[in-house]
Amino acid sequence: MKQSADQADYVRQRRRDRLIRELDHDPYRSKRKIKGPAVCPDCGSLYVEGRWTWEKAPTDARATLCPACHRIKDKVPAAFLTLSGDFLSSHKVEIMNLIQNYQEHERTEHPLKRIMGKEEQADGIVFTFTDAHLARGIGDALYNAYQGEVDYRYGDEDPMLRVTWSR
């Protein structure tokens, strides 16, 4: 089969893929940077130079609720993690420790990554999070530590992540 000149010239061939912009519908994410330093009155995290940290707040910092505390106050999680299976019931303490340790490690660097709540149900446990990346990271950590099945689902119009892990 003979190729045309355009098909054979891989160096000059146009790219057919394109960058697809991700939809950003998170109402809790600030559209603009906050001017000057700001401190969250609920958790004490500090907003300075475009990011939230655990640094000590200067005296001139104004009080502004951070996005994580705002989510917690409104009871609107960014992600869910559902755990289920026979392995969960027999290794519950280990799994809970893994989740808590992962969350504490992430929270030291990223004040907005927090567990909002935990609800024990008849067939498993459901966690809610202030950040989708934390739920995804914990799902990956559970899979890496214990294998099993992990599934990540984003809503079509909703930016919420639903992670399920079972074994």
Q: Do 109 and 164 contact (CB within 8 A), yes or no?
A: no
Is 97 a residue whose pLDDT tops 70? yes
Tell whether 3 is covered by a domain. Answer: no
What is 101-132 written as a DSSP string? HHHHHHHHH-TT--EEEEEEETTEEEEEES-H
Asked if 42 and 115 sit in the same domain, the reply is no
pLDDT in tens, 18-48: 554 444 556 677 667 788 899 999 999 999 9
What Rg, from alpha-carbon coordinates, does the chain have? 21
148 with 84, same domain: the answer is yes
Please report whether residue 71 resides in a domain. no
Question: Which tens digits make up the pLDDT trace of 43-77?
Answer: 999 999 889 999 999 999 999 999 999 999 999 99
Are 95 and 48 in the same domain? Answer: no
CB 78 within 8 A of CB 130: yes
Flag whether the pTM goes above 0.95.
no
Residue 7: predicted pLDDT: 54
Do 91 and 156 lie in a common domain?
yes
Give the strands of the sheet with 124-129, arranged side by side.
115-121, 124-129, 79-84, 161-166, 149-154
Q: Are residues 58 and 88 both part of a single domain?
A: no
The total number of structural domains in the chain stands at 2
d(CA 138, CA 126): 13
Question: What is the predicted pLDDT for the residue at 50?
Answer: 87
The answer to whether residue 152 is domain-embedded is yes
| Residues linked to residue 48 through DSSP beta bridges, in sequence order | 51
Give the domain range for residue 29.
Answer: 25-65
Direct distance between the N- and C-terminal alpha carbons of the chain, in angstroms, rounded to an integer: 51
